[in-house]
Amino acid sequence: MKKTGVAIIHGMGNQNRDFADKFIKEIKAAYENTDEGKYRSSDIYFKPVYWADVLNDEERKMWNNLNLDSLDFRDFRKFIVNYLGDAIAYQKMYDLKKAKIRKDISVYYKVQTIISDSLKDIDNNTEKGSPLVLIGHSLGTVMLMNYIYDSQKTPAHKKLNEWKDKCDTDNLTGLFLCGSPFALWTLRKKDFGEPVNFPGKNLSAQMKKRSRWLNIYDPDDILAYPLKNLNTSYKKISYLEDKAIEVGGLLTGGTPLSHSGYFKTADVIKMIADFLKEISPEH
């Protein structure tokens, strides 16, 4: 039986290495929650993708060097540094060859390597041709989308240093974007650019029919945006669905603070678990 590989990447802000532990535990419980008991979470290989340590030390150093504790609105400034700082630092400045010459490997390439290493780990723990599901939150969704874009570039490009030894996404079956600001990143492209090719090209016809690209957002979350109506190309993707839901608890629900609540929301967990059942060999 082929295991399904699931990669989960976090978003902006202070994150710990165990950021996905509870989320994975709850997905497993929802996945196995059937009368028949035919779905086993051991048939899924989960891989958290942790990238926060790429920036944590630098953000802390900047905070201390500038003595930001002495300025007004300390807590709000921490929010800006942790969230907006991540997004600014992630921007791709120049190609990898120039970066190596300048001895300045940008956050963009460091994150690409982290994602690739995580996908290689999934490959090593699943059978060849197993379905791949990518789940991201916040800035992590942008990182996933950029990685998928780069994985689908021409063979000539893949021979360049930027993509050398990186892992492809040809078995991509599920794509879950939670609280995604990716629509804002499309402003860099004329007419908002072209979407990634979805699903993966190596999937069987049957598995392609089951594939799903879900963009989950809370209308109260000012950092999350729909995608489907960006342009004609996005509208044509039958697999893509914008899903508006309510995220957050008593204090954060119905407010912009809901942005941090996607991985804690029962509806999100159920949607992912139900999809994993749909692509399971037992389905």
* CATH number of the domain that residue 208 is part of: 3.40.50.1820
Angle formed by the axes of helices 21-32 and 266-278, nearest 10°: 60
Residue 1 has pLDDT above 70, yes or no: no
pLDDT tens-digit profile of 165-193?
789 999 999 999 999 999 999 999 999 99
| φ and ψ of 45, to 5 deg | -110, 115
| φ and ψ of 3, to 5 deg | -75, 150
Q: Which residues contact 199 (CB under 8 A, 6 or more apart)?
A: 172, 173, 207, 208, 211, 213, 239
Residue 160 has pLDDT above 70, yes or no: no
Domain of residue 79, residue span: 4-278
For residue 283, being part of any structural domain is answered with: no
Confidence of residue 35 (pLDDT cuts 50, 70, 90): low
For residue 217, being part of any structural domain is answered with: yes
For residue 135, being part of any structural domain is answered with: yes
pLDDT tens-digit profile of 256-277?
678 889 999 999 999 999 999 9
- Average pLDDT rounded to a whole number, residues 129-135: 97
For residue 201, being part of any structural domain is answered with: yes
**pLDDT of amino acid 98:** 66
Structural domains counted in the chain: 1
**pLDDT of amino acid 27:** 98
For residue 254, being part of any structural domain is answered with: yes
**pLDDT of amino acid 157:** 60
Residue 161 has pLDDT above 70, yes or no: no
pLDDT tens-digit profile of 212-227?
999 999 999 999 999 9
> From CA 47, how far away is CA 69, in angstroms rounded?
36
Nearest C-alpha neighbor of 27 from the set 273, 278, 276: 273
The letter for the amino acid at 187 is L
**pLDDT of amino acid 250:** 61
Rg of the chain, C-alpha, whole Å:
19
- Between residues 81 and 148, the one the model is more confident about: 148
* ∠ Cα 234 273 151 (to 5°): 45
For residue 149, being part of any structural domain is answered with: yes
- Average pLDDT rounded to a whole number, residues 242-259: 78
The pTM (predicted TM-score) of the whole model is: 0.92
Confidence of residue 57 (pLDDT cuts 50, 70, 90): confident
Tokens of 98: 């120039």
